[in-house]
Structure 1
Amino acid sequence: MVPTTAAQPEVTIVRPKLPDDVFFQDPLAIAANRTRVPGLGKPTETVRTTEPGATGEPATATETVSDAPVDWAALLPAELLVAEANRIRERFTPKLASVATFNSSLLDVPPYAAELAALGGIATEHGGNIPWKTNAKYVRDLSAEMIADQLQRGQKSYEQVKVPFDKISLLLDGKRPEGLPEADDATDFAISADFGFLMRRFEAAQNYLKTTGGSDAAFKQNAADLVRETRVLAALSKVIAHDDHGYGDDAKFQGYANAMTEASLAAATAAEKGDFAAFDLAASNLAQSCVKCHGDYRNN
């Protein structure tokens, strides 16, 4: 009798199910709408060139599994990471002045808390000079704690956000508050930085780039802020592509994330050089990468 070979069980790779509400409400409109800020200059025509990721297509993923060490300093220099963390703190401070101000700002909290958690995680691995680096793991976990439960209007959710935020504020000032939770030295971005809320942060960034850098005059006036924003986007693109989020072995997703990183860095370089045409092109490429990624993954 010839022995038979047992059938091998089918292996199914389970990826995070992404609900529709984590995606842009109208991504095609965001990508297509390059409306300039009224009164801030005449639109400038740009000549399109073909570069890696220039059409929004997935860039080649040189390494499928994305848990290899990331050179965070090359994407987001330490001084810009620190500046962005402080900017988020300044954004939250008036919104958390009272339950009433919190209630009116409820939807603004999760995307930026998720970003701050990601920045804390990045800081734990960053090679640059970050004054609060030794406490970065607490910034990371406290930021995640702010949005651990779904936020609602009222005192309970207000305290859920306000209590950890006050501790974060002290940590960013180099102080060590009492009652810090236990925190792992290693970062798991899937636990710390909510994927869906990071998607909403990307949507906010698209609107920010369009309004703050949507004309030559606005671009020149806000160049430093645009450098910071696009550098942050380059880093966050690496965060969402990290193997922690379940897409480390997905070459297509990695390609889209790489294209987002490349476009963000191109926009940052253009802002540093004062080249509006190059910035406008890179911002458009970034938006197209997001749209095409959503087209492939919205229902997957």
Structure 2
Amino acid sequence: MVVSIVFAVTSCTAMAALYVRRLIDERQQRHERADDIALSRELMAARTPEQVDTLRERFRSIDHERRTRVFSHLLQLVRGDDHDRLMRLADALGMPDGAIRRLRKGNAAQRVDAMRELERYPLPRAVEALERCLAQDRRHDVRLEAAAALARIGSVPAPGVLIDTLDLRRRPINRLHEAILRAGAPRHSAELIALSRDPATGRVRPLLVEALGWIGDFSVLAVLHDHAGDPDPAVRAAAARAARKLGHPGAGSWLIPLLLDPFDQVRIQAVRAAGQLGLTQAIPMLAALVENPSWWVRMRAVEALALLRGGQPSPEAPIGLRR
């Protein structure tokens, strides 16, 4: 009996404590939301140097997590001039400063976390800090994260810089390397075209050729035409992938002969491109490839024929940099 009473009292006390704790937490959350809203209004209203100075003084008493939370929320909401003004305000209030320091002095995990924070503030000094990390950090995985961060904020370095800093001539190449090179293609199209023609790029060259498709300029088809006759089958396959990305049927004149390439990897990419680009003149050759000894060639030929006979190429699923 006594044990039951003690157990009941203990249970009620524990439940009461949990209930009180929940009330306290909810009250604190309401206060935090109210404070965040008030701070957001101050940030949106700060336009004069005096108002910025007042905010700078206030920020000294606000923890970094809250400042980051409020700024991140506002930057997601606003566009155009308001977004640009908030970025200038973030710079004036030193929002990237802590992340830039951690990028220089923290351990590997802290440096990567600092990059994530700097992505919120793509200011010139944040970009400079990421570029310095890419060039100087002693760890390859951290340098790769720096390159990815620069790509996500639209400041990806030139392909030659990426090849050197990421040691692409020797290290295994992965999908992130490919995505970073593609992201920089429109910005560095001239250098990308030049490097794709340079035999010294070695094993990186197929990646460079494929990235040409992400330039978004149909004039690059002439360059891809040249690469379609390259002695390296990996380069020929990359040219077909790039043509598929560009989506211009004008590539058909040199893509269709690749359907007869002696290497499976080239035929597979040429078959996929023929289907995606709507090259109906390739239907007889594709029909013949349905009997190809390679299972992959047969499967892709069936898919391409289904697209061409149905009349609608299926959309490509983009490979992006989203975390």
Coarse TM-score class (shorter-chain normalised): under 0.3
Larger relative contact order, structure 1 or 2 (CA cutoff 8 Å, min sep 6): 1
Report the structure number with the largest CA radius of gyration. Answer: 2
Q: What is the TM-score of this pair, normalised by structure 1? A: 0.20
The structure richer in helix per residue is 2
